[in-house]
Amino acid sequence: MSVDLATVKRVARLARIAVSEEDANRMVGELNGIIDFVEQLSEVDVTGVEPMTSVTPMDMRKRQDDVTDGDKAEDIVANAPSTDRNFFLVPKVVE
């Protein structure tokens, strides 16, 4: 499998990263280099092998579904670039 310019632009769009024509062209080569490198995994026989889901065999710790934290609206918006009365402000989404 190899990556072409159209694929790079599609993936950049999916990743929400604006790329210039120049960036996209450079990335074609770089991404193909990396994809070629990881391609060698296809030679490994994985018949009957389970994919790893947890590196340490353990049950995920669970807790009661209680409210244990909160009332921190001001803290939560404190680092936001644009806010109003503890809401995050974004450009208009719906016309």
| CB closer to another protein, 58 vs 67 | 58
Answer yes or no whether residue 75 interacts with another protein by CB under 8 A.
Answer: yes
Phi, psi of 26 (to 5 degrees): -65, -40
User: Following DSSP, what letter does each residue of 24-84 receive, concatenated?
Assistant: HHHHHHHHHHHHHHHGGGGGS--TTPPPPS-SS--PPP-------S---HHHHHTT-SSEE
Of the candidates 21, 22, 38, 71, which one interacts with another protein according to CB under 8 A? 38
Answer yes or no whether residue 90 interacts with another protein by CB under 8 A.
Answer: yes
| Total residues binding another protein (CB under 8 A) | 53
Q: Which residues are CB-neighbours of 76 under 8 A, at least 6 positions away?
A: 86
Of the candidates 67, 70, 71, 79, which one interacts with another protein according to CB under 8 A? 79
Chain residues in the site for another protein (CB under 8 A): 1, 3, 7-8, 11-19, 27, 30-31, 33-35, 37-42, 44, 46, 49-56, 58, 60-61, 63, 72, 75-82, 88, 90-93
